[in-house]
Structure 1
Amino acid sequence: MQYTLVLLASIFITYIFGYLLKDKTKYSVFLLFLGISCNVFLLVYFKYSSFFFRVIGESVPFFAEVHQSFVVNFENVHLPLGISFFVFQAISYLIDVYRQDSPVEKNPLNVALYIAMFPQLVAGPIVRFNSIAKELSQRTISWDKLTGGVSLFVVGLSQKVLIANTVAVAVDGIYNIPLAEMTAPLAWIAAVGYALQIYFDFTGYSNMAIGLGLIFGFHFPANFNYPYWSQSITEFWRRWHMSLSRWFKDYLYIPLGGNRHGKLRTYFNLWVVFLLCGLWHGASWNFILWGAFHGALLVLERAGVLRVINQCPRLIRHLYCLFFVLICWVPFRAETLEQSVTIFRVMFFGSSASSLNWPVASFVSNDVALAFIFGIIFSAPLWQFLQEKLFSVKTVARHTVLYQTCSNSIVVLLFFLCILSLSSGAHNPFIYFQF
């Protein structure tokens, strides 16, 4: 109950300050700062308090004797579900109202609906207020939206249940073995597996959220566009978690100066933005390291590496991007910095551990291998390609009934397989629920 009050507090703060910002006055900047600060305080208190006190206590000798009591107290503070997402939506609303990019919503229930909308509340996508402002009070529900939303929901459910959950069996098993017994093949399988797991886990949730929104008459933005098909890290971030990337670009990167103040300032802004992006994902040095890696790669590409990469064949560009994305996923998945460093060492320099202790076959069963294959296939825009080549407008017009029958049959089959998997499997929550 107390964590529901956190959500209600964010709604109340956002509505009050948004209403006060409807008219530009000499106090508008101060009101904007105050409204953002109140929301950020909620996020910092519940998500980062324990981490910050631990870091300060371990780094500053003066606090060495007393920091433990603070850490213990803040360890009892739990993370409210979806706080990283609804706080970011609240901040975007306040800034857009201040910039006059969005209308002021005078109805508090509509503000509450915007921030607490259940389909995308806990893991996105992050929705801008102006994209659904009209639909909050005037929206239509039709049979086409209902069937389209149900189909998209089932596709997302199958991505999560049939691919992400199945691949997670191998990934979790490998990460649970003792570090001293980790072998290079297992480390690389875990890296590839986690790349597939987190993609289908998160894009699955996003599709489910978008599908549910469509059923109720809302149009949420797409959150993924085949990111593993990218040919650079820059392109990867245009395709991965697009609503978050746009949020950081519009509300942090550009206000910091963007690319308007010379190369060095641009590089600094990029790196800081992705450092904070890593911290947004969690209060851990591993997430900070992940953000710093991506920030450094983006800086290098902007500094000239991208020009060199673009001169390479398409396959080389794909492999370059996939290699560094896989490397960066290691600290994102690892529980400690020690585990990250050990896995990096094993991946590139091998280990003295015997593969007989933990053979690959003990982690990669037939089901897992099949999930790997389908995950790799469907992480590429295969369906989009088939639609363009085989299901042109003229073809669909001639065979509408056949096309609909095949599509509906696939959706029903996927739903049936998901039910079978869920009825026999263990609880496996969405990865981004922890953020």
Structure 2
Amino acid sequence: MVFSSLLFLYLFLPITLILYFISPAKGKNIVLLIVSLIFYAWGEPVYVGLIIFSSLADYGYGLIIAKFQKSKRRAAKLVLILSLVTNLAVLFFFKYVDFIIENINYVFGTELANLDLPLPIGISFYTFQTMSYIIDVYRGKVKAQRNFISFAMYVTLFPQLIAGPIVRYEWIEKEIAQRHVTFSLFSDGVKLFIIGLGKKVLIANQIGLLWEEIQGLPSGELSMAAAWLGIIAFSFQIYFDFSGYSDMAMGLGKMLGFQFPQNFNYPYISRSISEFWRRWHMTLGGWFREYVYIPLGGNRKGKMRTSINLLIVWMLTGFWHGASWNFIIWGLYFGVLILLEKVFLQKALLKLHPIFQHLYFIFFILVGWVFFLFDDLPVGLHYLVIMFGFSGQAVVNQTFLYLLLSNLILLLMALIGSIPLSRLVRRIVVLPFLQPLFYLIVFLFSSAYLVGATYNPFLYFRF
């Protein structure tokens, strides 16, 4: 089940809200746990047991670490290691084992059979959440949760279960125990959810169709300009798809009394790759910084160690996104760029006019999306060859002009929506007394599209 579906909008969500608000305070966590498991089981019934196992395991590990934390520090550390091994083993088994088998077969000429296990939805997200909880209990940053219902609710909480944001336990520890939903908070949640729904349905899905059309062009019709138009379309699609989903998750959280962290902050206005990653998927970047980069030594052990730490973090960031070499290359690509910016590029960029800083960023981010897109590396490299005009294809042709002109308004909408100007337009054009009408129109248009929609993917489900 996805948020951008009629089933969720008109059945699951209303029933959930009614049950939640009529239940007593002590029963709200139980209600959320039950509806979250139903939500997850709708798409992954076979893996409900897996997420319950993860909850039970880390609930128990947390209690044991808390017990040994002061008197038996070495024992607490051993339990922490056991917890991390358990979590990473489960993640590795379901997400990466076939990748390892394929590479063993390639290197050694063996014929080991793939397991072909379906990837449990959201496993990368909820595994990182439970790992952060265990580490923070060990560090003494949070107290171990002694109520299993409350802990399991945190792990399975449906608004952010399958695609984030990655919500650390310390951020909502107090709200897990007690929360109060005011009219203002609920109203803000509804508005944020509708904005996210509109971003996903009215922009991401529509511009995704443009990318699908360009990707499906016969090789002879794909001009250099069309190849760039295609990757621009995809860059908008993945932004509005993922940030829209994050907005919906944050909106749902507010409706239920939770304050989830912001996950996107207009990343396409960046002037460097480093800035982009401070604005894009912020909770993932923060997680790797807090639990990988800093424990490795961060920037405290000299330039060489800092460089190695950065490359390790970005290789892991790429690998987190998928079990394929293109994701590892994609991660290292950004790691190298960020490293170069730290060494000398950032100083050079600051001397340039902001327009040239932005052009630098746009160029490298679009090239980066090509590595992200194509898990078949030769196909991705061929697409890059076309983009840079080395394939003998036409620079511009009639197909490109038709696609550009027929999607010009959509592209302009995506451009405006990806910069802070969109927020300013809403404040100026949509007067306070017209706001309810504006949100109603966005919701109705989104619903109308979903009635007959056959194209409603969610790109981050595979991660």
TM-score, structure 1 length as denominator?
A: 0.91
Match of 1:419 in 2: 447
Aligned equivalent of 1:233, options 273, 279, 284: 273
| Offset from partner CA, 1:399-421 (integer Å, 9 cap, x none) | xxx94322222111111211222
Q: CA deviation at 1:264?
A: 1.0
User: Once structures 1 and 2 are overlaid, which stretch shifts more, 120-129 or 421-430?
Assistant: 421-430
Matches within 5 A, 1:59-74: 59=107, 61=108, 64-67=109-112, 69=113, 71=114, 74=115
Q: CA deviation at 1:314?
A: 1.0
Matches within 5 A, 1:398-417: 403-417=431-445
Contact 1:47/1:79 (<8 A) preserved: yes
Aligned equivalent of 1:255, options 278, 292, 295: 295
- The residue type paired with residue 195 of structure 2 is V
Contact 2:66/2:137 (<8 A) preserved: yes
Aligned equivalent of 1:36, options 76, 79, 84: 84
- The residue type paired with residue 133 of structure 2 is Y
Instruction: Check if 1:216 corresponds to 2:256.
Output: yes
Match of 1:190 in 2: 230
State the distance in 2 between where 1:206 and 1:333 align. Answer: 21
- The residue type paired with residue 223 of structure 1 is N
* Runs of at least 5 residues in structure 2 that lack an aligned partner in the other structure: 1-44
State the distance in 1 between where 2:245 and 2:382 align. Answer: 31
User: Once structures 1 and 2 are overlaid, which stretch shifts more, 150-159 or 170-179?
Assistant: 170-179
Match of 1:243 in 2: 283
Query: Aligned-residue CA RMSD in angstroms?
Result: 1.9
Matches within 5 A, 1:292-371: 292-353=332-393, 359-361=399-401, 363-364=403-404, 366=406, 368-371=407-410
Q: CA deviation at 1:332?
A: 0.9
- The residue type paired with residue 13 of structure 1 is A
| Offset from partner CA, 1:329-366 (integer Å, 9 cap, x none) | 01111241011100111111243346899712554573
User: Once structures 1 and 2 are overlaid, which stretch shifts more, 290-299 or 350-359?
Assistant: 350-359
| Offset from partner CA, 1:106-129 (integer Å, 9 cap, x none) | 101111011100011000000010
Instruction: Check if 1:433 corresponds to 2:461.
Output: yes
Contact 2:223/2:397 (<8 A) preserved: no
Instruction: Check if 1:92 corresponds to 2:132.
Output: yes
Contact 1:183/1:350 (<8 A) preserved: no
- The residue type paired with residue 382 of structure 1 is L
State the distance in 2 between where 1:154 and 1:386 align. Answer: 17
Q: CA deviation at 1:424?
A: 2.8
- The residue type paired with residue 276 of structure 2 is F
Contact 1:275/1:292 (<8 A) preserved: yes
State the distance in 2 between where 1:353 and 1:384 align. Answer: 40
TM-score, structure 2 length as denominator?
A: 0.86
State the distance in 2 between where 1:234 and 1:181 align. Answer: 36
State the distance in 1 between where 2:55 and 2:94 align. Answer: 16
- The residue type paired with residue 106 of structure 2 is E
Aligned equivalent of 1:12, options 31, 56, 60: 56
Contact 1:182/1:351 (<8 A) preserved: no
SS in 2 for 1:27: helix
Q: CA deviation at 1:384?
A: 4.2
State the distance in 2 between where 1:176 and 1:39 align. Answer: 39
State the distance in 2 between where 1:44 and 1:51 align. Answer: 10
State the distance in 1 between where 2:110 and 2:376 align. Answer: 24
State the distance in 2 between where 1:372 and 1:335 align. Answer: 26
Contact 1:169/1:363 (<8 A) preserved: no
Contact 1:165/1:197 (<8 A) preserved: yes
User: Once structures 1 and 2 are overlaid, which stretch shifts more, 424-433 or 214-223?
Assistant: 424-433
State the distance in 1 between where 2:378 and 2:391 align. Answer: 15
Identity level (%): 39
Instruction: Check if 1:373 corresponds to 2:412.
Output: yes
SS in 1 for 2:66: coil
Q: Structure 1 pair 354/312, CA: closer, same or farther in 2 (3 Å)? A: closer
State the distance in 2 between where 1:365 and 1:424 align. Answer: 25
| Offset from partner CA, 1:66-103 (integer Å, 9 cap, x none) | 32x2x2xx12x110010010000010000111111112
- The residue type paired with residue 100 of structure 2 is F
User: Once structures 1 and 2 are overlaid, which stretch shifts more, 403-412 or 241-250?
Assistant: 403-412
State the distance in 1 between where 2:210 and 2:321 align. Answer: 23
Q: Structure 1 pair 320/91, CA: closer, same or farther in 2 (3 Å)? A: same
- The residue type paired with residue 166 of structure 1 is Q
Contact 2:223/2:396 (<8 A) preserved: no
Q: Structure 1 pair 252/258, CA: closer, same or farther in 2 (3 Å)? A: same
How many residues in Structure 1 have an aligned counterpart in Structure 2? 415
| Offset from partner CA, 1:26-55 (integer Å, 9 cap, x none) | 211111010011011111000011011111
Q: CA deviation at 1:323?
A: 1.1
* Runs of at least 5 residues in structure 1 that lack an aligned partner in the other structure: 392-401
Match of 2:40 in 1: none
Contact 2:91/2:123 (<8 A) preserved: yes
Q: Structure 1 pair 38/166, CA: closer, same or farther in 2 (3 Å)? A: same
